[in-house]
């Protein structure tokens, strides 16, 4: 797909609907040339714009995308945190393991479950919850088994 010439302008529009439309175009048509402009949308006030910026960045990820998404993780809503983790399953790498492992201690079970999914996807289903992790929270073992079953059925 060739670059869309007005896309950068649309991403900087004052109209949130135009920005959302532009972010969806970035994602669908993999518009790599607006990567830096999409990163700016991670600071938008509108949660939906940030959500679609996360999705778009996952699609047009570069070498620094995972680190950028991780840097915004703690200030995000649960929905956007989960989307960051989903995007890390394709944009992330082994250098992100310590971050993902730290999320196994998160108080939110939805975040824990998605962190396990991401770890397993990055490891080709070979991630195992260790004895130390499971003794801290028995639910981690159950979540790990659930994700293994999910991945087997795909």
CATH code for the domain in which residue 2 is found: 1.25.10.10
Domain residue limits at 58:
1-92
State the pLDDT at residue 135: 52
Chosen domain end from 72, 92, 112 = 92
Q: Cα separation of 38 and 27, whole Å?
A: 10
**pLDDT recorded at residue 123:** 83
**Same domain, residue pair 19 and 86:** yes
**Are residues 76 and 48 part of one domain?**
yes
| pLDDT value for 49 | 98
77 & 9 share domain: yes
Same domain, yes or no, for 151 and 118? yes
pLDDT tens digit sequence for 8-28: 999 999 999 999 999 999 999
Tell me how far apart the alpha carbons of residues 83 and 80 are, in angstroms, rounded to a whole number.
5
Q: How many domains does the chain have?
A: 2
DSSP assignment of 38-77: HHHGGG-S-HHHHHHHHHHHHHT--TTHHHHHHHHHTTS-
For the chain, which ranges sit under pLDDT 70?
A: 1, 125-137, 154
First to last CA, the chain: 29
Q: Which two tokens stand for residue 13?
A: 């529009």
Contact between 66 and 93 under an 8 Å Cβ cutoff? The reply is yes
- Kindly state whether residues 88 and 120 are assigned to the same domain: no
Residues 119, 101: Cα–Cα separation, whole Å: 8
The last residue of one of the domains, among 75, 92, 109, is 92
Domain boundary among 68, 92, 116: 92
Place of tokens 């995972």: 66
pTM, entire model: 0.90
């Amino acid at each position: 797909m060739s670059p869309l010439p007005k896309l950068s302008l649309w991403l900087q529009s004052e109209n949130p609907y135009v920005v959302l439309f532009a972010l969806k175009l970035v994602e669908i048509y993999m518009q790599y040339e607006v990567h830096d402009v999409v990163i700016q949308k991670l600071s938008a006030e509108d949660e939906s714009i940030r959500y679609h910026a996360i999705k778009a960045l996952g699609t047009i990820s570069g070498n620094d995308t995972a680190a950028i998404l991780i840097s915004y993780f703690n200030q995000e809503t649960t929905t956007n945190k989960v989307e960051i983790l989903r995007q890390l399953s394709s944009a992330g790498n082994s250098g992100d393991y310590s971050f993902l492992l730290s999320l196994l201690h998160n108080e939110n079970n939805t975040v824990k479950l998605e962190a396990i999914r991401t770890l397993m996807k990055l490891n080709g289903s070979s991630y195992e919850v260790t004895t130390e992790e499971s003794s801290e929270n028995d639910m981690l073992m159950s979540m790990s088994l659930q994700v293994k079953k999910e991945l087997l059925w795909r």
